[in-house]
Amino acid sequence: MTIAIGSSRAETREELSTTAFDLLVIGGGILGTSVTWMAAQAGLRVAMVDAGDFAGATSSASSKLVHGGLRYLQTGNVKLVAENHRERRALAADIAPHLVKPLTFLVPIYKGGPHGAAKLGAGVFLYSALSVFGDGMGKVITPHQALAKVPALRPEGLRAAAVYGDHQMNDSRVAVMTVRAAVDAGATVLNHAEVVGLRKTSGTVTGAELRDRLDGTEFGVSARLVLNATGPWVDHLRRMEDPDAAPSIRLSKGAHLVLRRHEPWKAALTTPIDKYRVSFAIPWEDHLLLGTTDEAYEGDPAAVSPTEADIAQILDEAGHAVRDEQLRREDITYAFAGLRVLPGGPGDVAAAKRETVVTRGSGGMLSVAGGKWTTYRHIGKHVFDTLARLPGRPLGDEIADILPVVPLPGLASPEAVAMRLWTDRERSARMDPLVARHLATHYGSIAFDLARLIREDPALGERIHPEGPDIWAQAVYARDHEWAATVDDVVRRRTTLTVRGLDTPEVRARIAALLGTG
| pLDDT tens-digit map of 279-338 | 999 999 999 999 999 999 999 999 999 999 999 999 999 999 999 999 999 999 999 999
Nearest to 181 by CA among 322, 296, 27, 39: 39
Tens-place pLDDT, residues 425-484? 776 668 999 999 999 999 999 999 999 999 999 999 999 999 999 999 999 999 999 999
- Supply the pLDDT for residue 37: 98
Show the CA angle centred on residue 477, arms to residues 474 and 480, nearest 5°: 150
Tell me which of 262 and 16 has the higher pLDDT. 16
- Supply the pLDDT for residue 2: 33
- Supply the pLDDT for residue 330: 97
Tell me which of 400 and 72 has the higher pLDDT. 400
Quickly list DSSP for 176-214.
Answer: HHHHHHHHHTT-EEESSEEEEEEEEETTEEEEEEEEETT
9-58+173-247+348-389 sits in which CATH class?
Answer: alpha beta
- Region(s) of the chain under CATH 3.50.50.60: 9-58+173-247+348-389
Tell me which of 122 and 486 has the higher pLDDT. 486
- Supply the pLDDT for residue 5: 40
Contact at 8 Å (CB) between 410 and 68?
A: no
Is the pLDDT reported for residue 513 higher than 50? yes
Collapsing DSSP to helix, strand or coil, 410 comes out as: coil
- Supply the pLDDT for residue 383: 93
Contact at 8 Å (CB) between 480 and 6?
A: yes
Is the pLDDT reported for residue 1 higher than 50? no
Q: Which amino acid is at 31?
A: L
Is the pLDDT reported for residue 180 higher than 80? yes
Spell out the alpha helix ranges (H) of 426-467.
Answer: 433-443, 447-456
CA atoms of 34 and 42, how far apart (whole Å): 12
Helix axes 78-90, 376-388, angle to 10 degrees: 100
Contacts of residue 34, Cβ cutoff 8 Å, sequence gap at least 6: 178, 371, 376, 377, 379, 380, 381, 383
Is the pLDDT reported for residue 489 higher than 60? yes
CA atoms of 236 and 228, how far apart (whole Å): 10
CA atoms of 453 and 481, how far apart (whole Å): 12
Give CATH superfamily name and number for 101-168+250-343: D-Amino Acid Oxidase, subunit A, domain 2 (3.30.9.10)
Q: What are the angstrom distances between the C-alpha of 195 and each of 25, 55, 61, 483, 485?
A: 11, 17, 23, 18, 18
CA atoms of 158 and 150, how far apart (whole Å): 13
CA atoms of 289 and 41, how far apart (whole Å): 35
Tens-place pLDDT, residues 495-507? 999 999 999 999 9
E runs forming strands in 27-76: 46-49, 65-66
- Supply the pLDDT for residue 6: 41
Is the pLDDT reported for residue 7 higher than 60? no
Global pTM reads: 0.94
Stretch among 80-89, 91-100, 143-152 having the lowest mean pLDDT: 80-89
Q: What are the angstrom distances between the C-alpha of 453 and each of 51, 58, 94, 459, 493?
A: 31, 32, 28, 10, 20
CA atoms of 5 and 12, how far apart (whole Å): 7
Percentage of the chain with pLDDT > 70?
Answer: 95
Collapsing DSSP to helix, strand or coil, 429 comes out as: helix
CA atoms of 237 and 227, how far apart (whole Å): 10
- Supply the pLDDT for residue 380: 94
Q: What is the mean pLDDT of residues 39-43?
A: 97
- Region(s) of the chain under CATH 3.30.9.10: 101-168+250-343
Is the pLDDT reported for residue 58 higher than 80? yes
Tens-place pLDDT, residues 332-389? 999 999 999 988 755 555 544 556 778 899 999 999 988 789 999 999 999 999 999 9
- Supply the pLDDT for residue 427: 66
CA atoms of 447 and 442, how far apart (whole Å): 8
First and final CA of the chain: distance in angstroms? 29
